[in-house]
Amino acid sequence: QVQLQQCGAELVKPGTPVKMSCKVSGYTFTSYVISWIKQTTGQGLEWIGYIYPESGSTGYNEKFKGKATLTVDKSSNTAFMQLSSLAAGDSAVYYCAREGAYGYLDYWGQGVMVTVSS
Amino acid sequence: DTVLTQSPALAVSPGERVTISCRASESVSTGMHWYQQKPGQQPKLLIYGASNLESGVPARFSGSGSGTDFTLTIDPVEADDTATYFCQQSWNDPFTFGSGTKLEIK
């Protein structure tokens, strides 16, 4: 069965980066785009960007350019997102999701809760 | 960015029919999708392409609309349908989500 496995939670200090992973199983990793989504109580769900594992090509929401960097490791079927210079507003749950043909997100990871605090 | 507007909350009784609306600030054609999210869980895809039922989702769920006005219908509603429902558009860049409609089953 399709699974996107994410690690549980991160507590990080302001100004530091964080890198989170999304390990995929149950389908051919290079055949589907992976999207990343931020969820907060205040702002709701926000689409951060996507990466196509086959080529490594990426696309970002303008709001997250310079904040998020998406990469993949095809050898381990894992997608990564690094967030730079974290601030309080970056505290959120971050999801990875598999993107279907028409831009829908058909499988989601369980999310990583990132808390930015000194 | 395309803004998706949803009503914040609804309350219905089991067995009733409920419609959840999503209005887009510009046309998204049929690039509209619906998700269900329960507390502490990730969103789950229900409907894609405005009206296509995702595999494994009960036929009680249906979607309709095109352009700027979309509807998710649950008929009949069951107690387990208590959740927040989000719409998402993939027609315009960037993808955007509605703020969610919290459904309470009385």
Which of B31, B43, B93 has its CB closest to that of A102? B31
Buried b (16+ CB within 10 A) or exposed e, A64-99: beebbbbebeeeebbbbbebeebeeebbbbbbbbbb
Residue B7: is its pLDDT beyond 90? Answer: no
**Which pLDDT score, from 0 to 100, does residue A41 have?**
84
Tokens of A5: 């496995």
| Contact (CB<8Å) B97/A45 | yes
pLDDT > 70: percent of chain B? 100
Residue A47 predicted with pLDDT over 90: yes
Band (A7; pLDDT cuts 50, 70, 90): confident
Mean pLDDT of B23-42: 97
Q: Which of B87, B95, B102 to mutate to probe the A interface, most A CBs <10 Å?
A: B95
Kind of pairing, strands A9-12 and A112-116? parallel
How many other CB atoms sit within 10 Å of the CB of residue A115?
13
The answer to whether B35 and B96 have CB atoms below 8 angstroms apart is no
Per-residue pLDDT reduced to its tens digit, B52-70: 999 999 999 999 999 999 9
Chain-chain contact of B48 with A102 (C-beta, under 8 angstroms): yes
Average pLDDT over chain B, rounded to an integer: 97
Contact list, A102 vs chain B (CB under 8 Å): 31, 33, 48-49, 90
Distance CA B13, CA B22 (A): 22
Grade residue A8 by pLDDT with cuts at 50, 70 and 90: confident
Q: Which residues in B13-36 are b (16+ Cβ under 10 Å) and which e?
A: eeeeebebbbbbeeebbbbbbbbb
User: Nearest residue of A to residue B86 by CA position?
Assistant: A45
- Say whether residue A43 is in contact with chain B using an 8 A CB cutoff: no
Cβ-Cβ contacts under 8 Å, A34 against chain B: none
Residue B70 with chain A: CB contacts under 8 Å = none
SS3 (DSSP) at A1:
coil
| Residues of chain A positioned with their CB less than 8 A from the CB of B8 | none
Average pLDDT, chain A: 96
| Size of the A and B interface in Cβ pairs below 8 Å | 56
